[in-house]
Amino acid sequence: MDKMNSRFDGPPGQEDMPYLLTPGPLTTSRSVKATMLADWGSRDIEFRRVVAEIRQGLLDLAGCDGSYECVIMQGSGTFAIEAALGSFCPRADAKTLVIANGAYGDRAAAILARLGRPVAKIDKGDSAAPSAEEVAAALDADATISHVWVIHCETTSGIVNPIAEIAHAAKARGKLVMVDAMSSFGALPLDMKDGYDVMVSSSNKCIEGVPGFSYVLVKRDMLVASKGMSHSVVLDLYEQWKGLEANGQFRFTPPTHALVAFHQAMKEHAEEGGVPARGGRYRRNADILIRGMRAMGFATLLSDNEAGPIIQTFLTPRDPNFDFEQFYEELRRRGFAIYPGKLTKRPSFRIGTIGKVDEKVMTGVLKAIAEVLAEMRVTDLSPLEG
């Protein structure tokens, strides 16, 4: 495999594996990987200490005061999303407003519909940001809306939504605000005291852990009031919380290796300088990548004031020699795994700028892209219209 001479922090024994330039799972540090070489008992006192420190650490990282709780849920981020929607959103006589501008907003609305929970939706397509004014108008037009669900960074396109402004508009009208911060928490500023009642994220994103669990930060009074609300035994956040509070243990087998890896990742997040430093590194990655891709001739889907530092979307070139699968495989052979597009309107592909990667990796992927384009004899990088 033709790769850079020196990797940023490659996995021991896996030097032939690519950098994961995706929105997660992502490239992790050697030390995070090393924690998973030991086995942990789920009832062991030391493991329960790790879980307790993770829960408190997440509350601290989100700026929570003493009125919030952290509930960890086995499974990917969507498990926690469904758990939160099923535990807190009304079953009848009121609605949840889902603000959608990509696949993940659409998924939240689909979950509510499957659960039979009343749902309203603001649909911004796949690459436009909602405004606080639009949300305020929707709330004023429908007094039955009691909850608002909004995504911080919608990785369908990489757009960052104005959640603070939206939360302000919703709270001014007495609504509960629920935030999907799956791809942003740990890198973009988020303070629960800004008006967020619920926040959901997962282990394999900006804190740079590995897949295996997700978590919900929620006002304690909401959690207590949710008793008996969940549609599911496994996804019942109230019962999960009661178990964790009673003895520090999960109701069902926890992902022990993922949890200890995340515990280490949280230490490294703090050592790097927390959210400002982590977000700053990602922003530098994004700036280098975007400048380099535009210099080659690629067009970005989003403008600079819309795109966040998490994942960047580039429009597929119109050149008939460009084939994404070949492009992907050749980049992977050179040590970089990117992501296909997830847009419904315009052909595109995505390159993540998060994980244990730095400017050197971004420079490396740009060099690899130039080489692959030359091999494929792609010269016209103007965007293909879908």
- pLDDT, tens digit, for every residue of 162-174? 999 999 999 999 9
Residues 184 and 301 in one domain: no
What percent of the residues of the chain are helix, what percent strand, and what percent coil, each to the nearest 5?
A: 40, 20, 40
* Calpha distance 156→313 (Å, rounded): 8
Residues 218 and 101 in one domain: yes
Sign of CA dihedral 248, 188, 9, 60: negative
Enclosing domain of residue 352: 19-30+274-376
User: Rounded to an integer, what is the distance from CA 127 to the centroid of its chain?
Assistant: 17
Q: What mean pLDDT, rounded, does the chain reach? A: 94
Residues 143 and 289 in one domain: no
- Decide: pTM greater than 0.85: yes
Q: What is the pLDDT of residues 344-378, one digit of tens each?
A: 678 999 999 999 999 999 999 999 999 999 999 99
The per-residue pLDDT for 345 is 76
Identify whether 6 is part of a domain.
no
Residues 251 and 367 in one domain: no
> Within 13 A of 331's CA, how many CA atoms are on the CB side?
26
Identify whether 105 is part of a domain.
yes
Residues 209 and 313 in one domain: no
Q: Are 118 and 96 spatial neighbours (Cβ–Cβ below 8 Å)?
A: yes
Q: Are 216 and 237 spatial neighbours (Cβ–Cβ below 8 Å)?
A: yes
Q: How many distinct structural domains can be found in the chain? A: 2
Q: What is the pLDDT of residues 252-271, one digit of tens each?
A: 999 999 999 999 999 999 99
Q: What is the pLDDT of residues 204-230, one digit of tens each?
A: 999 999 999 999 999 999 999 999 999
**How does residue 127 score in pLDDT terms, banded at 50, 70 and 90?**
confident
Q: What is the pLDDT of residues 303-340, one digit of tens each?
A: 998 999 999 999 999 999 999 999 999 999 999 999 98
Residues 104 and 47 in one domain: yes
Instruction: Kindly report the number of other CB atoms within 10 A of residue 87's CB atom.
Output: 28
Domain's final residue, options 219, 252, 269 = 269
Residues 189 and 283 in one domain: no
Residues 25 and 42 in one domain: no
Q: Find, among 184, 158, 126, 165, the residue nearest to 306 by Cα.
A: 158
Residues 189 and 217 in one domain: yes
* Calpha distance 234→236 (Å, rounded): 6
Q: Give the start-end residues of each E strand in 104-212.
A: 119-123, 145-151, 153-154, 159-160, 176-180, 198-202
Q: Are 217 and 70 spatial neighbours (Cβ–Cβ below 8 Å)?
A: yes
Q: What is the pLDDT of residues 73-115, one digit of tens each?
A: 999 999 999 999 999 999 999 999 999 999 999 999 999 999 9
* Calpha distance 381→298 (Å, rounded): 5
Residues 281 and 169 in one domain: no
